[in-house]
Amino acid sequence: MRLYSAFSVALLALGSLAAVSQNPAAPKVSQKPAQKSAAAQMVAATPPMGWNSWNFFAGRVTDQDIRNAADQLVATGMKDAGYVYVNIDDTWEGDRDANGVLHTNSKFPDMKALADYVHSKGLRLGIYSGPGPQTCAHFAGSLDHEAQDAQLYASWGVDYLKYDLCSFRQAVMTAQAPDDKAAQMRLMIAAYDKMNKSLKATGRPIVYSFCQYGWDAVWEWGPSVGANAWRTTGDIQANWQSIYSILNEQAGLAKYAGPGHWNDPDMLEVGNGKLTPAENRTHFSMWAMLAAPLLAGNDLPNMTPEVKAILTNRDVIAIDQDRLGSEATRAYSEGELDVWTRHLSGGATAIAVINAGSDRYSTHPFHLSLGKLGLHGPLKGKNLWTGEEVTLTDNMPLEIPSHDILLVRIAASK
């Protein structure tokens, strides 16, 4: 079989993905996460999966949108595929009262009732704040109210906090140490640790997600101050250039990720903007290879069957959620072709080949070097986007369409 021809045909037959998505299940969700035993309370043993409001709704998100998202996670089968966090991003915050207690704004009339609703669906609720006086969208931040806010989140039943640096830069770092970058970074680290300790003091297991755009090699110090995930980049956008440049920035970071602490190349844009089916596939495949949090950011009530098939591909999700927690590394690049590999539990291997270019044709297919991956052919595997069995041989020709990916799982490498 010529691998590339089977692959190209399959690209035209996205319907076949439905069959693929019947395979191994993603982790089961407890109905009552707060009541699990202490041993089971380690959060983010595998990368968190769910949905976040920002990439589609930005500042427009309301209580009703969050309820709709929760309903849709269940109705679409995404919950069963592992998407359990429903995360409210910026713009839910109102004013503080005379006691410093933060209230929600009119878009979120009753956060406790919303949390109860989300939990009633067997899902978990995420929320957003930051260490500065204001969030990025200029709503109230947690500066000087960290313990109070953490207790408030816990009282509502919040299960996940995204903590975004934003105004802390000017209001604290620049203000207190204008000419000393190292001192600024120490202030930043202390601020993240302050919220870490405040969250721990609540006794509630809460995923703690850092959003400070990868500053000061956060992967080196984040876990020591409680990070379950840390953004490694600036904000993602729903276009190929953004996704591919973020992907390239991840090379070399694999050694910092593992169970309980993950590199976060930002939330998914699958289904957003003008991303093509190939670009959506590559984006999703590579975030899974990177053991990234899989936080969908699309319009769930209006999701197309093609986007749903991508987001619920169980074989690809199984790569992301692999218990070993070993992130992919970039094995080699040749022109606009990149080859990434990931070690999986049980001695399995995932291989991803991306064509980032737009002008390579069947006259000159890419030849995959198994030797450069430390492998020897022939290797039987599964093409995770067609469901077909494939055999990889050394130097085999691969014709991969522009911005598309070949993602293969090899059961046990030699």
Q: How far is the CB of 87 from ligand GLA (least distance, A)?
A: 10
Rule CB under 6 A: is residue 63 a binding residue for ligand GLA?
no
404: three-class secondary structure by DSSP: coil
Find the Cα–Cα–Cα–Cα dihedral 248, 401, 391, 387, rounded to 10°.
90
Q: How far is the CB of 262 from ligand GLA (least distance, A)?
A: 16
Q: Which residues are catalytic?
A: 164, 235
Structure tokens at 117: 């609703």
Our CB check for ligand GLA shows the closer of 129 and 341 to be 129
Q: How far is the CB of 161 from ligand GLA (least distance, A)?
A: 12
Q: How far is the CB of 209 from ligand GLA (least distance, A)?
A: 10
Cβ(129)–Cβ(163) under 8 Å? yes
Put the strands of the sheet holding 160-164 in their side by side order: 262-264, 229-231, 207-211, 160-164, 124-129, 85-87, 49-52, 294-296
DSSP 219-235: HHHGGGGT-SEEE-SS-
For residue 252, the one-letter residue type is G
Q: What is the 3-state secondary structure (H, E, C) of 277-318?
A: HHHHHHHHHHHHHCCCCEEECCCHHHCCHHHHHHHCCHHHHH
Place of tokens 């169980």: 314
Find the Cα–Cα–Cα–Cα dihedral 142, 148, 153, 159, rounded to 10°.
80
Residue from the set 136, 189, 246, 406 that interacts with ligand GLA by CB under 6 A: 136
Pick the piece of the chain touching ligand GLA (CB under 6 A) from 12-20, 133-141, 149-157, 175-183. 133-141
Our CB check for ligand GLA shows the closer of 236 and 337 to be 236
x/- track of binding to ligand GLA for residues 355-394 (CB under 6 A): ----------------------------------------
Site for ligand GLA in 194-253 (CB under 6 A): 211, 235
Calculate the alpha carbon distances from 19 to 24, 380, 382, 388 in Å: 12, 20, 13, 11
Q: How far is the CB of 93 from ligand GLA (least distance, A)?
A: 11
Rule CB under 6 A: is residue 322 a binding residue for ligand GLA?
no
Rule CB under 6 A: is residue 269 a binding residue for ligand GLA?
no
CA geometry: angle at 222 spanning 170 and 129, to 5°? 50
Pick the piece of the chain touching ligand GLA (CB under 6 A) from 134-142, 201-209, 387-395, 405-413. 134-142
Pick the piece of the chain touching ligand GLA (CB under 6 A) from 132-140, 187-195, 202-210, 375-383. 132-140
Q: What number of chain residues touch ligand GLA (CB under 6 A)?
A: 9
Residue from the set 63, 65, 90, 269 that interacts with ligand GLA by CB under 6 A: 90
Distance, CA of 93 to CA of 106 (rounded, Å): 9
**What's the gap between Cα 142 and its chain centre?**
24
End-to-end CA gap in the chain? 21
Rule CB under 6 A: is residue 57 a binding residue for ligand GLA?
no
Our CB check for ligand GLA shows the closer of 66 and 351 to be 66
**What's the gap between Cα 393 and its chain centre?**
32
Pick the piece of the chain touching ligand GLA (CB under 6 A) from 135-143, 172-180, 360-368, 401-409. 135-143
Rule CB under 6 A: is residue 89 a binding residue for ligand GLA?
yes
User: 49 Cβ partners below 8 Å, 6+ apart?
Assistant: 26, 82, 83, 84, 85, 293, 294, 295, 317, 320, 321
Our CB check for ligand GLA shows the closer of 56 and 366 to be 56
Rule CB under 6 A: is residue 137 a binding residue for ligand GLA?
yes
Cβ(373)–Cβ(331) under 8 Å? yes
Q: How far is the CB of 313 from ligand GLA (least distance, A)?
A: 25
Rule CB under 6 A: is residue 161 a binding residue for ligand GLA?
no
Rule CB under 6 A: is residue 164 a binding residue for ligand GLA?
yes
Rule CB under 6 A: is residue 279 a binding residue for ligand GLA?
no
Rule CB under 6 A: is residue 88 a binding residue for ligand GLA?
no
Task: Look at strands 49-52 and 389-392 and give their pairing.
Answer: unpaired
Applying CB under 6 A, which residues contact ligand GLA?
Answer: 54, 89-90, 135-137, 164, 211, 235
